[in-house]
Structure 1
Amino acid sequence: MTATPYRRTRARQVLLALAALLCTLVPHAPAAAAQDRGGAEVVGVTRVAERQVDLSVRSSALGDRTVKVRLLTPDGWNPKDHRRHWPTLWLLHGCCGDYTSWTSRTDVAGIKSLRNVLVVMPEAGWNGWYSDWWNYGQGGAPAWETFHTKELRRLLESDWGAGGRRVVAGLSMGGQGALMYAARHPGMFRAAAAYSGSAHPLLNDESVHRIMAFFAGQGDDPRKVWGDPVAQRAVWAAHDPYHLARHLTRLPVYLSCGDGTAGPLDPPGATDALEADFNRQNHALADALNRLGARRLTTHFYGPGTHTWAYWQRELHASLPMLLRGLGVRG
């Protein structure tokens, strides 16, 4: 029996409805959208203060986890204007901090010389160490380095006004991240600054044991990050700024650290074994860079001082002229 036009139309409507329903049930649709954006997509935007915008970003590199990225926006910033792109400062937080640390603990939001710069403050995990985790040789999530240097960079430069002129700075774990990213991704950053950074985690057993304790911070097996420091020494060296020093010789680099004793911004009698360890690491990296002929190295090893925010705010200000020159921005 031949179907009537009504029946053909009704059947088509049913098929279309079923197709629409199936589209809403396919679990991979968001992942496909993220893949189109280089593995990440913005799923939420919140204005938290004047010139401060938080992006909620879902990342394939982080196992489809959604994390926050805070932007400190320049004057005249308009993400809808795809013709204008801004010089960009990546500002990395330390261990036990998050994407809000720099704005909540320093005066970065009020620095006038940054009003012509887009400042990117990404989440990096409580103890993510700016690394694609080894995970017993299997790789996979979390892949913080891939998230920052590929997914997030492409997303920001496509849709949020970030330009191709970039510099990077960070404290502690973020100082190591800044040096690693500048060394491991030649051409991505025009200058790097590290404040009390973990600059040579393979320096000695004390340094190795200390960073392994950080790796284990939230109940993780510390070997998941870079593996065993002996069996996977090559993986460790690939994330150790000292062993990457040859890739930093042509960049402006700023290293600063205290020696772990009470300084002018500390209470009397304060001591800090972590800062003392990082001080030795930073001296080792500076010596390596000098041996390699680095001509654009600035060091501020200021002696007394502990692992605290008051010094990192001061060092951000001290290094800004170098960072802004790298961006081609007048301070």
Structure 2
Amino acid sequence: MKFLSRAVLRGRVAALVGLAAIFGMLGVFGPAAPAAHAASTPPHFADGFGLTVVGQPKWMDDNERTFTFQVKSDQVPAYSVLPGQVSGEHTVMVTLPAGYDGAAATRYPVHYTLHGAPEYPNAPRNKIITERATEGLPLITVTPNGGGRGWYSNWVNPGALGRQNWETFHLDQLIPLVDANLKTVAAKEGRAISGHSMGGFGAFHYAEHRPDLFSYVGSFSGDLDFNTEIRAAVVGSELLEQYGTPAVAADAVFGSPVWPFDGVWNEQSAAQHVRSLRGLGVAMYAGDGGDLTVDPVLAVAENRVRQTALVAAANLTAEGIPYRFADYHDGSSWAEGCTGKHSQQACIQADMNDFVKLIMKRLRHP
């Protein structure tokens, strides 16, 4: 066997190292060890439309699909907060499509989805539901703060909190802010809106008031009819501190709930004002509570919101407006783990999955 001198050996090792570096740069060998994830920067947001950005976007995890940012609004300068919230600072959660590039020309439609009460816009389950439903799709999803009891409305008697103009905040401020800072299809053909429970009311409420903004509306177990016991649920949310502190008066949001002073309740009841949804895609989802002896509070709650969807469906039919109503009863045929109760993640995931498929057939997208 022929032995090499140390000088020759060192020279050959150095040459191999040099070749490895060159091939590594060319992608032939690849990295010597797994490279750490190269973090990207989420989009930067500028102030505007009455909103001040007080917290720039930050990714919620290493997947870099969903970020949150915080704004202050002159329309809701303070609000009843849930634990961990800062009154006057509104967190907004945004999920981007894979491959989103703020420097590219590609524009995406936006799905606004409204949370229930009392809930956080960036609750972990909201992120999971959104990311699963939109995997691989060219769609931006925005979940704004609606407060623990905001009811997606401009309040009649906000009291010491000051203005509680949630509708103005979302429709006149947040939507144009999103369009100005993200690559969106900034038109009716590029927007849909949906919501769960309180948010289901909010989605119909917003679409009825501003059909020029949205192409599709969806209610997931929404509180659509204020001429039922839903009125008591709204009042309860105003009075109970679990929906945020400080609690507010029973007439804060929609005025007096007692006839003959309940005119605002009647004007804002979504099930009775579906006429303006003509031309929009409309979808509703609800169970019947399944076995009402199991989790009776959530079972009965879902049973009653289903009745509000039936009223909305009857009024849509009377107006000749087509709609989809996924009336899945005990949930057994709708989704694994869904038993037809209110606020079940498995049910809401199936609702969202179905709704996203519908809107992607209607919205303008890449």
TM superposition score category, shorter chain reference: 0.7 to 0.9
Distance 1:171 1:136, change over 3 A: closer
1:166 aligns with 2:191: yes
1:68 is matched with: 91
| Letter of the 1:141 counterpart | R
Which residue in the other structure is 2:120 paired with? 98
Alpha-carbon shift at residue 170 of structure 1 (Å): 0.9
Deviation string 1:77-102 (CA, Å, 9 cap, x unpaired) is 344x3855320011111011111136
Name which of 67, 71, 84 aligns with 1:57: 71
Using the alignment, how far apart are the partners of 2:131 and 2:291 within structure 1? 28
Residue matched to 1:196:
221
Which SS does the other structure have where 1:302 is aligned?
Answer: strand
Aligned to 1:328: 364
Q: 2:329 aligns with which of 288, 303, 321?
A: 303
Whether the 8 Å contact between 2:133 and 2:349 is mirrored in structure 1 is: no
| Among candidates 307, 313, 316, match of residue 280 of structure 1 | 307
Q: How many Å apart are 1:199 and its aligned residue? A: 1.0
Contact 2:107 2:365 in 1 (8 A): no
Deviations 1:20-70 (A, max 9, x none): xxxxxxxxxxxxx96xx1111222122222211111111111127221101
CA shift for structure 1 position 150? 0.8
How far residue 186 of structure 1 moved from its aligned partner, in angstroms, is 1.7
Q: Partner amino acid for 1:109? A: E
Contact 2:211 2:280 in 1 (8 A): no
Which residue does 1:176 correspond to in 2? Answer: 201
Identical counterparts, % of pairs: 25
Residues 54 and 136 of structure 1: CA distance in aligned 2, closer, same or farther (over 3 Å): closer
Structure 1 runs not aligned, ≥5 long: 1-32
Unaligned runs of 5+ in 2: 1-45, 79-87, 242-246, 331-339
Residue number in structure 2 paired with 1:42: 53
Following TM superposition, by how much is the alpha carbon of 1:108 offset from its aligned partner in structure 2, in angstroms?
2.2
Match of 2:268, SS? coil
Tell me which amino acid in the other structure corresponds to 1:52.
T
On the 8 A contact 2:69/2:93 being kept in 1, the answer is yes
Count how many residue pairs are aligned between Structure 1 and Structure 2. Answer: 288
User: Kindly tell me: are residues 195 and 59 of structure 1, through their superposed partners in 2, closer, same or farther at Cα, counting changes over 3 Å?
Assistant: same
CA distance in 2, matches of 1:83, 1:232: 53
Match of 1:317 in 2: 353
Contact 2:185 2:364 in 1 (8 A): no
Q: Do residues 215 (structure 1) and 227 (structure 2) align?
A: no
Supply the AA of the counterpart residue of 1:327. L
What's the secondary structure of 2:154's corresponding residue?
coil
1:71 Cα deviation after fit: 0.6
The DSSP-based 3-state class of the residue aligned with 1:192 is strand
Please state how far the C-alpha of 1:136 moved relative to its aligned partner. Answer: 6.5
Give TM-score, length-normalised by structure 2. 0.73
Answer 1 or 2: which has greater helix percent.
1
